[in-house]
C-alpha cells in the first residue's frame, strides 16, 4: 500500500548549497516536495540543508556532477531513500572569465565538465528513475551568456550555449516518454558567483544595460524554475526562458539612445 511519503513529489537540485540552487530547494520545500540537495561543497551543503529545518524532507548528498560514478551513486541513493524523482534542476555551474587566448584547455574542460557534462550525466541517471512513475520535469540552468557572446566568456558562454541545445535534444527524446525539459537563462543575479567576477564597475554597466535596471535575486530565478516544473507548465517543452530583466530583449541597446 502506498504511504504518504511514496506520493510526496521529489526534486533533485544540483549546486544546492547556495545561491540559485538553495533558493530553488526552498521553493520546492515550500510546495510540499522532498528535496535532494546535491553539491561538491560538503560543509556548505550540510549547513544549508540544516538551515532549512525539515530534516525528514531533505537529503543532502555530496557529489560532483561531472563524475559519472558519483552521479550514478547519487541517483540510486535518491531512488532508494525517496523512492521517486519528479523534478531535476541541473543548476551546478562554474565560471572562468578570461580572455580567449589566455584560457587554457584545462580551464575550458573544467567549465564544460560541470556546466555541460554535469547536466548530461544527471539527466542520464535521474530520468530512468523519473520514468518509473510516468515522467517529470527537468530544468537546465543556462545563462544569458549562452545567448549573447561577450568578453571573457569563451568557455562559460559556449558551455551555456551548448546546454541550451542539449535542452532541446533532451526535450525531443524525453518528451514523448513523459519528461518535459526546459532551460532558464538568468541574467546577472546577486550570488557568490556574481560577487566573484563582477567588480563595482561591471555592476554599474549591468544596471545600465538591463531594462529593469537591477540584478535579479535567487528567489526570482527559483520562481521561473519552479513554474517550469509545475503542472502550470504542462505543455511547455524544449523552451528557454530568459529571467534577465529584459537584458536579452534589449539587443544592441546603444547607451546614447537609452539616455
Ligand X SMILES: NC(=O)c1ccc[n+]([C@@H]2O[C@H](COP(=O)([O-])OP(=O)(O)OC[C@H]3O[C@@H](n4cnc5c(N)ncnc54)[C@H](O)[C@@H]3O)[C@@H](O)[C@H]2O)c1
Site for ligand X, rule CB under 6 A: 14-15, 17-21, 38-41, 64-66, 91-94, 114, 118, 141, 143, 186, 188-189, 191-194
Question: In the annotation, is 235 catalytic?
Answer: no
Min dist CB 66 to ligand X, Å, is 5
DSSP 216: B
Q: Is the dihedral of CA 206, 241, 139, 143 positive or negative?
A: negative
Contact between 139 and 89 under an 8 Å Cβ cutoff? The reply is: yes
Residue 223: exposure state from Cβ atoms within 10 A (0-12, 13-18, ≥19): middle
Smallest gap from Cβ 118 to ligand X, in A, equals: 6
Nearer to ligand X, 87 or 194 (CB): 194
Which lies closer to ligand X via its Cβ, residue 131 or residue 250?
Answer: 250
- Smaller CB separation from ligand X, 60 or 65: 65
From the CB of 55, what's the least distance to ligand X, in Å?
Answer: 20
Among residues 33, 110, 156, 206, the one annotated as catalytic is 156
Q: 241 and 184 in contact (C-beta within 8 Å)?
A: yes
CA distance 214 to 224: 17
> Minimal distance in Å, beta carbon 217 to ligand X?
10
Please, which residue, 83 or 216, has the CB nearer to ligand X?
Answer: 216
Say which residues have a Cβ less than 8 Å from residue 61's Cβ, sequence separation at least 6: 36, 37, 38, 74, 77, 78
Task: Return the active site residues.
Answer: 156
Amino acid at each position: 500500500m502506498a504511504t504518504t511519503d511514496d506520493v510526496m513529489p521529489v526534486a533533485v537540485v544540483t549546486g544546492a548549497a547556495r545561491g540559485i540552487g538553495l533558493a530553488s530547494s526552498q521553493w520546492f520545500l515550500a510546495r510540499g516536495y522532498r528535496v535532494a540537495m546535491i553539491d561538491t561543497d560538503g560543509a556548505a551543503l550540510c549547513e544549508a540543508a540544516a538551515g532549512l529545518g525539515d530534516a525528514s524532507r531533505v537529503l543532502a548528498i555530496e557529489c560532483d556532477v561531472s563524475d559519472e560514478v558519483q552521479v550514478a551513486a547519487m541517483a540510486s541513493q535518491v531512488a532508494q531513500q525517496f523512492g521517486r524523482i519528479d523534478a531535476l534542476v541541473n543548476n551546478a555551474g562554474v565560471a572562468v572569465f578570461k580572455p580567449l587566448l589566455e584560457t587554457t584547455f584545462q580551464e575550458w574542460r573544467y567549465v564544460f565538465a560541470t556546466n555541460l557534462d554535469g547536466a548530461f550525466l544527471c539527466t542520464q541517471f535521474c530520468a530512468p528513475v523519473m520514468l518509473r512513475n510516468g515522467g517529470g520535469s527537468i530544468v537546465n540552468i543556462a545563462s544569458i551568456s549562452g545567448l549573447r557572446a561577450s568578453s571573457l566568456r569563451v568557455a562559460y558562454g559556449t558551455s551555456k550555449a551548448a546546454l541550451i541545445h542539449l535542452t532541446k535534444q533532451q526535450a525531443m527524446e524525453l518528451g514523448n516518454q513523459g519528461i518535459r525539459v526546459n532551460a532558464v537563462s538568468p541574467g546577472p543575479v546577486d550570488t557568490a558567483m556574481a560577487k566573484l567576477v563582477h567588480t563595482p564597475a561591471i555592476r554599474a554597466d549591468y544596471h545600465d544595460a538591463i531594462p529593469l535596471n537591477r540584478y535579479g535575486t535567487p528567489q526570482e530565478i527559483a520562481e521561473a524554475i519552479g513554474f517550469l516544473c509545475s503542472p502550470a507548465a504542462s505543455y511547455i517543452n524544449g523552451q528557454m526562458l530568459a529571467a534577465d530583466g529584459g537584458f536579452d530583449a534589449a539587443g544592441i541597446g546603444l547607451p546614447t539612445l537609452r539616455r
